[in-house]
Amino acid sequence: MTAESVRQEVADWWATGVSRIEPGVVELRGRPVQELIGSLSFPGMIWLLVRGDLPTPGQAALLEAALVASVDHGPQAPSIAAARMAATCGIGLNNAMATGVNLLGDVHGGAGEQCVELLTDVVAFDGALEEAAAATVAAWRSRSRYLPGFGHRFHPVDPRRDPLLALVDAAVDEGVVEGRHAAAARAVETELNRGRARPVPMNIDGATAVIYAELGFPAPLARGLFVLSRSVGILAHAWEESRSGQRNKGPIPRSILPSYHPAP
């Protein structure tokens, strides 16, 4: 092989539509970065890199709202708690953040992706919306008693839910999104609460799943977008903990360790 053929084979191996980098050139999806700096929001940049085109202002605003809503849910969340403990172990801020992000799996962090799949099943059902919701809920409950995106172990009504749904409704009125997944989510909520004295309302995962599905993001990207959002909270908590001066922070205070006897 000639040197030129080797160079071309390497270039082909790493070919990507996401970016092009050459001396003095940085292009993102074919757009010079200098044209994007100062003119494109961070949610717009996320959209551009992941989707390959630019969002409309309405799409970018809706995406931004979902990202803002999910940044943090307190130090008791496993990803946040792990990042805070990691930050006291001398491993550096980047590793503390990675510790938290790596806990965002199917159980903690995956409900948004799963809810997009649920709503997709409802929308794809051949029949009336009420019938579609009933059949989909029955099918999902045959596999698990947990229905992603509905109910919350801490909040009777998730305070993040209504503002997000109101923005979706406004976006539907403005023609930004169609509203099919929002209608599906509300139909599922109605089905879940049929005959119940204690309601099971949609939560943050359900509301953001509505937004991501309405914006056309595939289900796996709903989890990726949640990880991006929650990384902000993980960063803030890890940074705060790193400034505390504590070393090897454990899950419970040292002062109660001698008297703490867990059940056998």
Q: Are residues 103 and 178 in the same domain?
A: yes
Q: What percent of the chain has pLDDT over 90?
A: 76
Q: How many domains does the chain have?
A: 2
Q: What percent of the chain has pLDDT over 70?
A: 96
CA-based radius of gyration for the chain: 22
pLDDT at residue 6, rounded to an integer: 85
Q: Are residues 229 and 174 in the same domain?
A: yes
Residue with more model confidence, 253 or 92:
92
Six-digit token pair at 31?
Answer: 């757009």
Give pLDDT tens digits for 136-157.
999 999 998 889 999 767 667 7
Q: Are residues 32 and 152 in the same domain?
A: no
Q: Taking 90 as the threshold, does the pLDDT of residue 174 lie above it? A: yes
Domain span holding position 32: 7-54
Q: Taking 60 as the threshold, does the pLDDT of residue 263 lie above it? A: no
Residue 249 domain-assigned?
A: no
| Average pLDDT of every residue of the chain | 92
Residue with more model confidence, 173 or 195:
173
Q: Are residues 112 and 46 in the same domain?
A: no
pLDDT at residue 132, rounded to an integer: 96
Q: Taking 90 as the threshold, does the pLDDT of residue 72 lie above it? A: yes
Q: What is the mean pLDDT of residues 194-211?
A: 90
Give pLDDT tens digits for 47-61.
999 999 999 999 999
- CB burial of 55-91 (b: ≥16 within 10 Å; e: otherwise) equals beebbbbbbbbbbebbebbeeebebbbbbbbbbbeee
Residue 181 pLDDT grade (very low, low, confident, very high; cuts 50, 70, 90): very high
Q: Taking 60 as the threshold, does the pLDDT of residue 23 lie above it? A: yes
Q: Are residues 169 and 229 in the same domain?
A: yes
Q: Taking 60 as the threshold, does the pLDDT of residue 260 lie above it? A: no
Q: What is the mean pLDDT of residues 27-51?
A: 97
Residue with more model confidence, 154 or 37:
37
Closest by CA position to 117, among listed 61, 184, 56: 184
Domain at 206, CATH number: 1.10.230.10
Give the torsion sign (CA, 60, 83, 113, 189).
Answer: negative
Please give the Cα distance from 194 to 30 (Å, whole number): 51
Q: Are residues 20 and 135 in the same domain?
A: no
pLDDT at residue 17, rounded to an integer: 94
Give pLDDT tens digits for 83-96.
999 999 999 999 99
Are β-strands 25-28 and 19-22 bridged in parallel, bridged antiparallel, or unpaired?
Answer: antiparallel
- CB burial of 104-122 (b: ≥16 within 10 Å; e: otherwise) equals beeeebbbbbbbbbbbbbb
Q: Are residues 34 and 137 in the same domain?
A: no
Q: Are residues 109 and 41 in the same domain?
A: no
Residue 127 pLDDT grade (very low, low, confident, very high; cuts 50, 70, 90): confident
Residue with more model confidence, 8 or 168:
168
Q: Taking 70 as the threshold, does the pLDDT of residue 253 lie above it? A: yes
